[in-house]
Amino acid sequence: MTKLGARSSTDDVLQGKDLTGRTVVITGSNCGIGFETAQALAGAGAKVIFACRNVEKGEEALRRCKALHPQSDLAFFPLDLASADSIKHFCTEVKDETIDTLICNAGLVPTNYQETKEGLEMTVGVCHFGHFLLTQLLLPQLLETKVLNTDSSKRVSPRVVMVSSESHRMPAKLNFNKFPLKKTDTFIPLMAYGQAKLCNALFANELQRRFGDQGLTACSLHPGALITTSFGRDSGFLSLVFKLVSPLTKNPNQGAATTVYCASHENTEELAGKYFSHCKPVRSTKEANNPETARKLWEVSEEWVTDEI
């Protein structure tokens, strides 16, 4: 197998792998690294469920994936992570699916303060709270996968893959007095994004602590620096910066490689509770690995979930 690293592609990661029988839900899979993750896993035989906010773009992404892999098994269901009702509706739509992998990929960086339908600051509302509710609702299906899969030759460990970022390093601490941010707080887009990405790593670690003994594997990852996607679509400044530095960055397929690695790597013990970059485990921050912060974040998130279910 090709030695994996910073410039590895999804083809490099999946060389010789057959994912037939796997079913993967991928949020934000209509473009960028989400789409590249989806098409790569579909090409390796997995059933892929596209979970995207925009119906037109989601259906178009499915068609593009089908054109690349005509024999692939694909489905699309609308999912707006800024709406608890949409999340609950999505989970109702997929309740009969045997889901073994959830990839929480969707994210955004609003340039000004915005709120979800439930009044949460949009960045953490989508990147963390939306994914938290989605995971909670799909967790019984994920855990059931291990019970249903009795064929040892195709044993599947259910897993949750959180697409975090090196941005999780700022802030150094998760200040619960300013989490989520309120309208009255000074809104700094990259600080809000850093909060959200720190939450992704903390959530993966707490999932592993709480459900690892039930067979669940959870991990988080950094896809790569300033990947050339539509990520900065809401900011002319960010779009310009991305374009200028694009020769130095990964392309979307390379950016998806670490996600695909975490979704397909056979030895789950090498994934459990770890943080990855360039298809390898690396050290995340002390705060990301703080069990007390992770526990408190879970409790804060659970309070919101209780109100919404």
Residues forming the active site? 193
Q: How far apart are CA 216 and CA 104, in angstroms?
A: 15
Using alpha carbons only, give the angle 128, 279, 197 rounded to the nearest 5 degrees: 20
Burial (CB < 10 A; 0-12, 13-18, 19+), residue 233, is middle
Give the residue from 276, 283, 157 showing the smallest Cα distance to 220: 276
Q: How far apart are CA 42 and CA 56, in angstroms?
A: 20
Give the residue from 98, 104, 93, 118 showing the smallest Cα distance to 29: 104
Provide the residue ranges of all domains of the chain, joining segments of one domain with +. Answer: 10-303
Please check whether residue 65 is in contact with residue 72, taking contact to mean a CB–CB distance below 8 angstroms: yes
H or E segment and range at residue 184: none
H or E segment and range at residue 159: strand 159-163
Q: How far apart are CA 146 and CA 117, in angstroms?
A: 35
pTM of structure: 0.92
For residue 293, the 8-state DSSP code is H
Determine the angle formed by the axes of helices 55-68 and 32-43, rounding to 10 degrees. 40
3-state helix, strand, coil in the chain (%, to 5): 50, 15, 40
> What pLDDT, on a 0 to 100 scale, did the predictor assign at position 225?
73
Q: CB within 8 A of 87, min separation 6: which ones?
A: 79, 80, 81, 130, 133, 134, 137
> What pLDDT, on a 0 to 100 scale, did the predictor assign at position 126?
98
Pairing of strands 280-282, 275-277: antiparallel
| Mean pLDDT of the residues in the chain | 91
Condensed to tens digits (0 to 9), the pLDDT of residues 263-274 reads: 999 999 999 999
pLDDT at residue 228 tops 90: no
**CATH node for 10-303:** 3.40.50.720
Pairing of strands 47-52, 23-27: parallel
> What pLDDT, on a 0 to 100 scale, did the predictor assign at position 51?
98
Instruction: Look up residue 33 and give its amino acid.
Output: I
> What pLDDT, on a 0 to 100 scale, did the predictor assign at position 237?
58
For residue 247, the 8-state DSSP code is G
Burial (CB < 10 A; 0-12, 13-18, 19+), residue 128, is buried
Condensed to tens digits (0 to 9), the pLDDT of residues 233-252 reads: 555 655 555 555 455 678 99
Condensed to tens digits (0 to 9), the pLDDT of residues 51-61 reads: 999 999 999 99
Both tokens of residue 228? 């050339």
> What pLDDT, on a 0 to 100 scale, did the predictor assign at position 155?
55
Reported as a pLDDT band with limits 50, 70 and 90, residue 306 is confident
Q: How far apart are CA 305 and CA 47, in angstroms?
A: 29
Instruction: Please provide residue 277's backbone torsions phi and psi, each rounded to the nearest 5 degrees.
Output: -150, 140
Reported as a pLDDT band with limits 50, 70 and 90, residue 190 is very high
Number of other CB atoms surrounding residue 2 within 10 Å: 10
106 compared with 146, residue with greater pLDDT: 106
Reported as a pLDDT band with limits 50, 70 and 90, residue 307 is confident
Instruction: Please provide residue 69's backbone torsions phi and psi, each rounded to the nearest 5 degrees.
Output: -135, 80
Reported as a pLDDT band with limits 50, 70 and 90, residue 2 is low
